[in-house]
Structure 1
Amino acid sequence: VRDEHWQPTSLFEAVVTLEPGMGAALTPRTRLRLHAGASEVGARLVSAAAEPGSGAAALMRVTTDAPLAIRGGDRFVLRLPAPLRTIGGGVVIDPYARRRPLPHPSVQELDKLSAESGARLAYTLEAESGRGVPAHDIPVRAGCAPAEAHNLIGQSGARGGTNNLFTPVAVERVMGSVRRIIAEYEITAPLSMGVPARTLREGLRVDEELADISIREMERAGEIESDGPLVRKSGWVPSPSERDVEASNHLVHDICAGTQEPPSVGELVSRYGSSVPALLRFLERQGRIVQVETDRYYDRSTLEAMIGRLRTKLVPGQVYVPAQLRDVLGFSRKYLIPFLEFCDRNGITERRGEGRILRQTGGILLDTSRAHS
Structure 2
Amino acid sequence: MDKQYTVGIAGHIDHGKTSLVKKLTGIDTDRLKEEKDRQISIELGFAPLALKELGTVSIIDVPGHERFIRQMIAGVSGIDLVILVVAADEGVMPQTREHLQILKFLEVPKGIIAITKIDKVEKEFLQLVKEEILEELEGTIFQRAKVHYVNNNNGEGLDDLTETIATTLQKIKEKDTSGNFRLPIDQVFTLKGQGTIVRGTIVEGAVSEGDTIEILPAKIETKVRQLQVHNTRESVAVAGQRVAINLPNLSTELVRRGDVLSHKGDYKASTVLDVSLQFVPSLKLDLKQRSPIRVYIGTREVDGKIVFFDRNTLTRTNDEVICQVRLEEEVVAKRGDKLIIRRPSPSETIGGGWIINPNGDKYKFGNETIHKLERMKEGTIPERVKENMGSESTITLEKLTQKVGLGEDEIYQQVVSGDLIKITPTIYTTNEMVNKKTIELKYELSNFHLNNPLKEGIQKAELTSLFQKSLSQDLFHYLFEKLFTNGMIQKVGTIIALTGFRPSLPPKWEKRLMQVYKGLERDGIRVDTYDSYVKEAGIPESIAMDYKYYLLHQKIGYELDNKHIILKLSIDKSLDLLMDKTGDNFTVNEAKAILDLSRKYVIPYLELLDRLTYTERNDSTRTWIKNKQHGTS
TM-score interval w.r.t. the shorter chain? 0.5 to 0.7
Q: Could you say if the C-alpha distance between residues 18 and 269 of structure 1 is closer, same or farther in structure 2, counting changes exceeding 3 Å?
A: farther
| Aligned pair partner of 2:387 in 120, 126, 129 | 126
Question: Partner residue of 1:87?
Answer: 350
Q: Aligned partners of 2:351 and 2:276: how far apart in 1?
A: 11
Q: Could you say if the C-alpha distance between residues 276 and 90 of structure 1 is closer, same or farther in structure 2, counting changes exceeding 3 Å?
A: same
Q: Aligned partners of 2:626 and 2:300: how far apart in 1?
A: 74
Question: Partner residue of 1:32?
Answer: 293
Q: Aligned partners of 1:175 and 1:23: how far apart in 2?
A: 55
Matched, 1:331 2:600: yes
Q: Return 97-106 or 154-163, whichever deviates more.
A: 97-106
Letter in 1 for 2:455: S
Letter in 2 for 1:330: R
SS at match of 2:454: coil
Matched, 1:250 2:518: no
- 8 Å contact kept, 1:11–1:62: yes
Matched, 1:290 2:558: yes
Larger radius of gyration: 2
- 8 Å contact kept, 1:13–1:60: yes
Question: Partner residue of 1:353?
Answer: none
| Aligned pair partner of 1:164 in 427, 433, 456 | 427
Question: Partner residue of 2:139?
Answer: none
Deviation at 1:312, TM superposition (A): 5.8
Deviation at 1:166, TM superposition (A): 1.7
Question: Partner residue of 2:497?
Answer: 232
Q: Could you say if the C-alpha distance between residues 127 and 364 of structure 1 is closer, same or farther in structure 2, counting changes exceeding 3 Å?
A: farther
- How many residues of Structure 1 are paired with residues of Structure 2 in the alignment? 335
| Aligned pair partner of 1:140 in 402, 408, 427 | 402
Q: Aligned partners of 1:89 and 1:216: how far apart in 2?
A: 48
Q: Deviations over 1:166-211 (max 9, x none)?
A: 2222223223323432343333222232344344444344122333
Q: Aligned partners of 1:144 and 1:235: how far apart in 2?
A: 42
The normalised TM-score by structure 1 is 0.68
Where relative contact order (Cα < 8 A, 6+ residues apart) is larger, the structure is: 1
- 8 Å contact kept, 2:275–2:323: yes
Q: Aligned partners of 1:72 and 1:174: how far apart in 2?
A: 29
Q: Aligned partners of 1:357 and 1:12: how far apart in 2?
A: 83
Letter in 2 for 1:17: Q
| Aligned pair partner of 1:207 in 471, 484, 490 | 471
The normalised TM-score by structure 2 is 0.43
| Aligned pair partner of 1:58 in 316, 321, 327 | 321
Deviation at 1:128, TM superposition (A): 0.7
Matched, 1:102 2:369: yes
Letter in 1 for 2:318: G
SS at match of 1:331: helix
Deviation at 1:26, TM superposition (A): 2.9
| Aligned pair partner of 1:78 in 338, 341, 347 | 341
Question: Partner residue of 2:18?
Answer: none
Q: Deviations over 1:237-256 (max 9, x none)?
A: 33325664443343345556
Identity between Structure 1 and Structure 2 (%): 13
Q: Could you say if the C-alpha distance between residues 127 and 84 of structure 1 is closer, same or farther in structure 2, counting changes exceeding 3 Å?
A: same
Q: Deviations over 1:6-29 (max 9, x none)?
A: 2222233222223345896331x3
SS at match of 1:102: helix
Q: Aligned partners of 2:347 and 2:304: how far apart in 1?
A: 14
Unaligned 5+ runs, structure 1 = 114-118, 315-328, 351-355, 367-373
Q: CA RMSD in A?
A: 4.7
Deviation at 1:295, TM superposition (A): 5.8
Matched, 1:6 2:267: yes
Deviation at 1:143, TM superposition (A): 3.7
SS at match of 1:166: strand
Matched, 1:41 2:306: no
Matched, 1:182 2:448: no
Q: Aligned partners of 1:43 and 1:237: how far apart in 2?
A: 65
Deviation at 1:70, TM superposition (A): 1.7
Letter in 1 for 2:352: G
Q: Aligned partners of 2:434 and 2:412: how far apart in 1?
A: 20
Unaligned 5+ runs, structure 2 = 1-179, 181-262, 588-597, 629-633
- 8 Å contact kept, 1:287–1:300: yes
Deviation at 1:301, TM superposition (A): 6.7
- Point out the structure with the larger strand share: 2
Q: Return 64-73 or 46-55, whichever deviates more.
A: 46-55
Deviation at 1:142, TM superposition (A): 4.1
Q: Could you say if the C-alpha distance between residues 251 and 106 of structure 1 is closer, same or farther in structure 2, counting changes exceeding 3 Å?
A: closer
